[in-house]
Structure 1
Amino acid sequence: MRTGVGRWWRIPAQTTVLLVAVALGIVLTVDHRPPAGGDGRPAVAAPALAGTTLTGEPFDLAAARGDVVLVNVFASWCGPCRDELPLLAEITRDWSPRGLQVVGLNLRDGPDAVRALLRETRADALTVLPDPDGVRAVEWGVRGVPETFLVDRDGRIVARRNGVITRPWLEAKVSPLLEPA
């Protein structure tokens, strides 16, 4: 004769299986990746970047809030850096009316070498902060040159590019941030 005890055991077991399935479904459908600018890194506050530019003007990244800022670390002795400077000069001209600032962080050069490089590459209108001893580059976590950081309107690094930037990278990463909010 059956007493019905087996049926009572089945109900909690079925409920447990159902709850586990629901929980698993939630875990698998929620996006657990950190918010990022598309390069897989989470957006983080940009380190301070301030000083006197190559032309003697003051620059402070904190004062650039509200604009998108591309910080490009380069050196005169870097061949790939030389190759990307004309593109940086071009996007500065074309995209600055849309809220883009391009800032070069020049690593371990003298001012004469930097000025000569900028003239040769027709990029002498770029805003350039000298970093003769590399301290600023270390603060930004630079691993090599060229390296570029994309800072959004809120002052967060949302993308980073090790190596030469390209027009497709700029179109994919920078251009969407320049769209009206």
Structure 2
Amino acid sequence: MSARARRSWRRMRPAPATVLLLAVGLGIALATGHHSEPGEVGRQPVAAPPLTGTTLTGARFDLAAARGHVVVVNVFASWCGPCREELPLLVETARRWSPQRLQVVGLNLRDGPDAVRAVLKQTHAEDLTVLPDPDGTRAVAWGVRGVPETFVVDRDGRIVAHQAGVVSRQWLQDHLSPRLESG
């Protein structure tokens, strides 16, 4: 090995140690700084972000005015296959538990009104209250990372459960029943 190559090698030797040190530090930081999602075991409820606007039917919706109700906020899009699959379950859930003061609200992400109306008709979910979010700003405020995502907001306006991905009948039962029976 030439003298020049040895000098280059010496300069490079600290690099693997530095990379290893950074990787270990990052791993420790991530492990100790883990933030659980709302609804995870041990997670305290957090205040729901504001959610207001005009629904697809022209009515006014304001989550703050729904205090005293349990509210399911489902973020969906017409182009999302799993979202389409869960829409009928959400409508069924709203019908079943609305006498116990449950409201189900769809937050539609980045669709035009015609696309939303079409998917609601195709899935027999025309009764669902839908708040359009054409630019995604409302979803961002809620910390949405993809669709579908569902949040349960308790009677005091706090997010008490969160599901990234499709909700099941059992998930809804587990998270809604205790809150609706106690109120």
In the superposition, the TM-score normalised over structure 2's length comes to: 0.78
CA shift, 1:40, in A, is: 4.4
DSSP-derived class of the 1:164 partner: coil
Q: Which amino acid aligns with 2:151?
A: F
Counterpart among 29, 46, 49 of residue 48 in structure 2: 46
Deviation by residue 1:113-170 (Cα, 9 ceiling, x = unmatched): 0000001100000000000000000000001000001000000000100000000101
Corresponding residue for 2:137?
A: 135
Kept in 2, the 8 Å contact 1:80–1:164? The answer is yes
Alignment check: 8 A CA contact 1:39 1:159 kept = no
CA distance in 2, matches of 1:118, 1:84: 11
Corresponding position: 1:102 with 2:120: no
User: Percent same amino acid at aligned positions?
Assistant: 72
Matched residue, 2:77: 75
TM-score, normalising length: structure 1:
0.78
Q: How does 1:3-14 map to 2 (within 5 A)?
A: none
Describe the shift of the 1:110–1:171 C-alpha distance in structure 2 as closer, same or farther (beyond 3 A): same
The size of the alignment, in residue pairs, is 147
Contiguous gaps of at least 5 residues in structure 2: 1-35
The answer as to whether partners of 1:147 and 1:160 remain within 8 angstroms in 2 is yes
Query: How well do the aligned residues superpose, as a CA RMSD in angstroms?
Result: 1.4
Change (3 A) 1:162 1:39: farther
Given residue 74 of structure 1, which amino acid in structure 2 is its aligned partner?
A: F
The equivalences for 1:113-152 within 5 A come to 113-152=115-154
